[in-house]
Chains A and B, each alone.
Chain A
């Protein structure tokens, strides 16, 4: 009898786990708690919390979502988590204080910003070796690889520049000066434009990738909020090039920009100090990490409305979605 009860309990818990594994899940890195919060995107509730290395910030999945790379900034390493078992299986040599990174479309090369060393480190995730280290400006932060894999862009906060790196030669080929403290860069789907946010400058520069010229500089103004508090960080673009979403940090709002006319359409109120964002697979919702209020806001992309804010661990930083 006891055995059959145990068997039922075990099978039901397996069913439950299997059910959970089927639905889309958001992984949120909590900078202060040294954990990841897992949000089930059906119920919009936290379903699990996983201990990871110290001060987890940037997180990214590999192509088939079997591995999750985690910048454990205070451990000076990039951890590799096996997504099926939620265990850390290995580490990558990342250089000091890794914060943001970007995975090359070849699913192999990881481009990592080393904030304290003014370097971009390129790591081969299969051999787990450093392929190259490229000198960039002071306090490198944002990192993006173009969709065709030919370019890697790094932002350096103190130098206020975007550094263009040729991914075949790993040489610095160009620098673009932008407004103060560039934090994040993002390519559009076809890689023709590059969007770079400047935290102190309070602007987002839209750059034509072919000519490397700035096409437009966006600025933001929210009624009742002091301009100093408007500090753009995260940028996300919809695949159809309809909208760009810009997280405005301590302004506690996300700006919605028409990605073709560059007109700011709306400001959406989210939690405090919003930094990074991600879409779900069909881009129907956008998730934002709100560091100071320790929650994640859910934005309905069709309605452009914030539908819910979900409590996670302390100081959520990065967020990625596994479909």
Chain B
């Protein structure tokens, strides 16, 4: 397989993801509004809830807005990944996935391209959110915006792989609410996105254990540390490992026939 055809395939997939994103203006709008509502409305009531103990990577006391911002960045990536994986179900139903998979390139490569394209599409959403958040006193050091870039891509690919994996089990284009209730909400709430894990531990040991085994917690911590110019090695290890495992699983389990009438089992 020539390198040229590989690049061409990646460009095609990326172009299609971007087109979809550009044409769905409401998607960008909601991707921006959703975390901002959390930041401005939800966090306002909890302003004084934190600020008791200083946790890594912060050097001093922080407002709740500053605490949840990395979690909200991860939320943007999570929604983007889930939307992208749902588009996969749609592509399968409409048959455009068949056209794509007819190319002689290996299926695994095409799927990785799809994950990377989806990750790239997520970046303007994240930076758009961080830009607005800056005016709400979420002001990490300037270098942090650069440091966080590789973390964002890695986390986006992991969540995309997870979405792809889940989409393999979705028979038809279903209501987004199903994924929302059973995937997005538990993933988001049972993590360190909204509260530090020591707070969870104070409330319930079981909840704490669930949160500390949730890979999403590590995604949040990787982003949080990177945003402040620190490397959380444990988080990097867990996120990289999970990315590898879920990508392999997604490629193995992916069945373009599923949901396309007779192929679905």
A297 sits at the interface (CB 8 A): yes
Binds B, one of A49-57, A90-98, A305-313: A305-313
Q: Shortest Cβ distance from B143 into chain A, in angstroms?
A: 15
A137 sits at the interface (CB 8 A): no
Q: Are A309 and B48 in contact, with the CB atoms below 8 A?
A: no
Q: Are A307 and B44 in contact, with the CB atoms below 8 A?
A: no
Which residues of chain A are near B34, meaning CB under 8 Å? none
Restricting to B41-68, which residues have a CB under 8 Å from any CB of A? Answer: 44-45, 47-48, 51-52, 54, 59-63
Restricting to A279-323, which residues have a CB under 8 Å from any CB of B? Answer: 293, 295, 297-298, 306-309
Count of chain A residues with a beta carbon within 8 Å of a chain B beta carbon: 16
Q: Are A309 and B61 in contact, with the CB atoms below 8 A?
A: yes
Given contacts A252-B51, A293-B52, A309-B54, contact A270 B61 (CB under 8 A): yes
Which residues of chain B are near A109, meaning CB under 8 Å? none
The answer, among B44, B47, B61, B63, for a CB contact under 8 Å with A271, is B61
- Whole-angstrom distance between the alpha carbons of A166 and B83 in the complex? 76
What residue of chain A has the Cβ atom nearest to residue B47's Cβ? A224
Q: Shortest Cβ distance from A36 into chain B, in angstroms?
A: 22
The answer, among B44, B59, B63, for a CB contact under 8 Å with A269, is B63
Q: Shortest Cβ distance from B240 into chain A, in angstroms?
A: 31
The answer, among A269, A298, A307, for a CB contact under 8 Å with B62, is A269
Q: Shortest Cβ distance from B176 into chain A, in angstroms?
A: 34
Show 25 A/B contacts (Cβ-Cβ < 8 Å), sorted by A: A223-B44, A223-B47, A224-B47, A225-B48, A252-B51, A269-B60, A269-B61, A269-B62, A269-B63, A270-B60, A270-B61, A271-B61, A272-B51, A272-B52, A293-B52, A295-B54, A297-B61, A298-B60, A306-B60, A307-B59, A307-B60, A308-B59, A308-B60, A309-B60, A309-B61
Pick the 5 closest A-B CB pairs, nearest first: A224-B47, A309-B60, A308-B59, A306-B60, A269-B61
Q: Are B47 and A309 in contact, with the CB atoms below 8 A?
A: no
Which residues of chain B are near A298, meaning CB under 8 Å? 60
Q: Shortest Cβ distance from B237 into chain A, in angstroms?
A: 28
- Whole-angstrom distance between the alpha carbons of A308 and B61 in the complex? 8
Q: Shortest Cβ distance from A40 into chain B, in angstroms?
A: 16
A307-B59, A309-B60 known; 5 new pairs, CB 8 Å cut-off, are: A224-B48, A252-B51, A269-B63, A297-B60, A308-B60
- Whole-angstrom distance between the alpha carbons of A309 and B51 in the complex? 11
Which residues of chain B are near A223, meaning CB under 8 Å? 44, 47
Q: Are B61 and A252 in contact, with the CB atoms below 8 A?
A: yes
Q: Are A224 and B52 in contact, with the CB atoms below 8 A?
A: no
Which residues of chain A are near B59, meaning CB under 8 Å? 307-309
Which residues of chain A are near B60, meaning CB under 8 Å? 269-270, 297-298, 306-309
Which residues of chain A are near B62, meaning CB under 8 Å? 269
Which residues of chain B are near A297, meaning CB under 8 Å? 60-61
Restricting to A22-48, which residues have a CB under 8 Å from any CB of B? Answer: none
Q: Shortest Cβ distance from A299 into chain B, in angstroms?
A: 9
